[in-house]
Amino acid sequence: MISEELSQAWYDDGFVILRDVIPQDMRDLLAVGIEKAMGNPGPTSKEYAEEGKGRFFTDHHMRRRVDEFQQFLDQSPVRELGAQLMRTKKLNLFDEHLLVKEPGTDNPTYWHQDLPYYELAGTQIISLWMPLDPVSADSGAVSFVRGSHRWGKLYQPIKIGLGNLVEEAEVFDGPAPDIAGEPEKYDIVTFDEMQPGDCLAFQAAVLHYAAPNTTQSTRRRALSVRFAGDDVTWQPRPYIPSVPDTPDLVAGGPLDSEQYPVVWTAT
Ligand SMILES: O=C(O)CCC(=O)C(=O)O
């Protein structure tokens, strides 16, 4: 499914777009799961929008309580896509992140990297971001700074829907640069024409952003499924908002565990 050139582009740029790779029946399954998850938010769920100004809902690890997410992970092509893009022999699932921006939501998803939010070290860490609605510039399109995953920097986590720093988190290399304030300084690529079935695959250290959803009636439901590959080890951190569990793992050792299950191996 994935050519060597595309895989190399993922390594070089930090992201690629895959068109029409998630079948309709899998999207229908996910749509049911999303409504259940939003109707019964889990312990890591967040609401970022102000009262009366749309809704920006996020949550993690939905497969643990909503069966449709587990079915989606088992039956959709996401594992093959992740493994082939990273050219890895093994995949550990470590998160599913639901990000729903309802019409009239002013909040952007502020520029950030994902890696400082994970208890992981390594480079073969991928998010597969899949929208269930058409995505345009004004409904929450995602942008990346090309190559920023190779800057060798880790920036302090922010609250992604509010923009302020997570004070409890590690400082790492300090706050991310002001990309929104000085966009001309960066090689920004925006995917402002996406259809349900398309998928953005990006590396954990690449800087990314998503626009507000200022449309009147277009939802922007998206799921980011996250896998770690061969070179990834467990890196405990003092504070990670989306990882409430403390797995019985060794720092610098393999992830394989109930929390980070092996979900794919090369045959
Ligand atoms: O969907 C969004 O608003 C942003 C996506 C994102 O930051 C992620 O999947 O890591």
Q: What is the pLDDT of residues 84-120, one digit of tens each?
A: 999 999 999 999 999 999 999 999 999 999 999 999 9
Predicted confidence (pLDDT) at residue 241 exceeds the cutoff of 70? no
Say if residues 239 and 157 touch (Cβ distance below 8 Å).
Answer: no
- Joined together, the tokens standing for residue 21 give 């790779």
Task: Choose the residue to mutate in 78, 127, 199 for probing ligand 1, maximizing ligand atoms within 8 Å of C-beta.
Answer: 127
Tell me the pLDDT tens digit for each residue of 118-163.
Answer: 999 999 999 999 999 999 999 999 999 999 999 999 999 999 999 9
Q: Side chain identity at 237, as an amino acid letter?
A: R
The per-residue pLDDT for 247 is: 83
Integer Cα distance of 109 and 89 in angstroms? 32
Predicted confidence (pLDDT) at residue 180 exceeds the cutoff of 70? yes
166-183 mean pLDDT: 94
The per-residue pLDDT for 243 is: 65
Query: Is the beta carbon of 211 within 6 A of some atom in ligand 1?
Result: no
Integer Cα distance of 110 and 100 in angstroms? 15
Q: Considering the entire predicted model, what is its pTM?
A: 0.97
Predicted confidence (pLDDT) at residue 175 exceeds the cutoff of 70? yes
Say if residues 46 and 193 touch (Cβ distance below 8 Å).
Answer: no
Spatial CB neighbours of 133, under 8 Å, sequence gap ≥ 6: 139, 196, 218, 219, 220, 221
Q: How far is the CA of 17 from the centre of ligand 1 (A)?
A: 14
Q: How far is the CA of 111 from the centre of ligand 1 (A)?
A: 10
- 4-265: CATH topology is Jelly Rolls (2.60.120)
Q: Which whole-number Å values give the CA distances from 242 to 46, 118, 161, in the listed order? A: 10, 8, 14
Spatial CB neighbours of 95, under 8 Å, sequence gap ≥ 6: 60, 61, 118, 224, 225, 226, 242
Nearest residue (by CA) to ligand 1, atom 9, is: 224
Closest CA to 202 of 123, 118, 101, 107: 123
The per-residue pLDDT for 202 is: 99
Query: Is the beta carbon of 114 within 6 A of some atom in ligand 1?
Result: yes
Q: How far is the CA of 267 from the centre of ligand 1 (A)?
A: 32
Say if residues 223 and 142 touch (Cβ distance below 8 Å).
Answer: no
Closest CA to 92 of 73, 117, 75: 73
Atom of ligand 1 nearest to the CA of 222: 1
Closest CA to 74 of 205, 261, 267: 261
Give the start-to-end residue ranges of the domains of the chain. Answer: 4-265
Closest CA to 72 of 44, 125, 126, 31: 31
Say if residues 179 and 111 touch (Cβ distance below 8 Å).
Answer: yes
Integer Cα distance of 33 and 40 in angstroms? 11
Query: Is the beta carbon of 95 within 6 A of some atom in ligand 1?
Result: no
Atom of ligand 1 nearest to the CA of 97: 9
The per-residue pLDDT for 135 is: 98
Q: How far is the CA of 96 from the centre of ligand 1 (A)?
A: 11
User: Which alpha helices (H) appear in the chain, and where do they start and end?
Assistant: 4-13, 24-39, 67-75, 78-86
Query: Is the beta carbon of 99 within 6 A of some atom in ligand 1?
Result: yes
